[in-house]
Structure 1
Amino acid sequence: MSAVIYTILKEYFVEIHNHPVKARIMSPISDENVFVFQTSLYYKSKSHLDANQPASTFTSFANAERHLLQYLEEFQNTLDLGGEIAQGSNF
């Protein structure tokens, strides 16, 4: 499998229930029309066994940013309602 090199376009730093979360929007250098986001922590809902990982590929920076901010809000809401942070998902 070949390596993919990304350009980091924007980074966010937030704190959710005393957990520092770093998030970034990136684009592969080989395709400037693809955008992905990544977070340093993922939330785990009590009703799911696996971490709720965000959709990862978007066709515009604005869509990636909108989905990332929505994901961070859902993360906060999940922890407010008693959800947990998934283990081993740091970058």
Structure 2
Amino acid sequence: MAIVIYTVLKEFFVEIHGHAVKARILSPVHDANTFTFQISLFFKSKSAADANEPASTFTSYATAERHLLSYLEDFQNTLDLGGEVAQGSNF
């Protein structure tokens, strides 16, 4: 298994319903055209047994940032409607 080293391009710190959520936009050191994001907590809706964990890569920073902000908004909306918080990435 190859080791991938990432560069953290931007970090966000938000509070959603009293839960501190940390998020990062990352890019592999060897590939400046690939971006992903990582979240410290995930959300579960009332109808889903599993947490909604984002697992996508993007070819532009702007697209990754837009998807991250959309995920955070969905997180807020899900908790507003009675969803739950699940543990996410430890970083």
TM-score range, shorter chain: over 0.9
Runs of 4+ aligned structure 1 residues displaced above 6 Å come to: none
Aligned residues: 90
Partner of 2:8: 8
Partner of 2:29: 29
For the residues of structure 2 that align with 1:35 and 1:90, how far apart are their CA atoms? 17
Q: Which runs of 5+ in 1 are unaligned?
A: none
Partner of 2:44: 44
Partner of 2:71: 71
Partner of 1:17: 17
Q: For residue 43 of structure 1, what is the amino acid of its counterpart?
A: F
Give the % identical residues.
71
Please give the secondary structure, in 2, of the residue aligned with 1:25. strand
Partner of 2:89: 90
- Give the TM-score taking structure 2 as reference length: 0.94
Establish whether residue 56 from structure 1 lines up as the match of residue 49 from structure 2.
Answer: no
**Do the aligned partners of 2:7 and 2:26 also contact (CA within 8 Å) in 1?**
yes
Please give the secondary structure, in 2, of the residue aligned with 1:74. helix
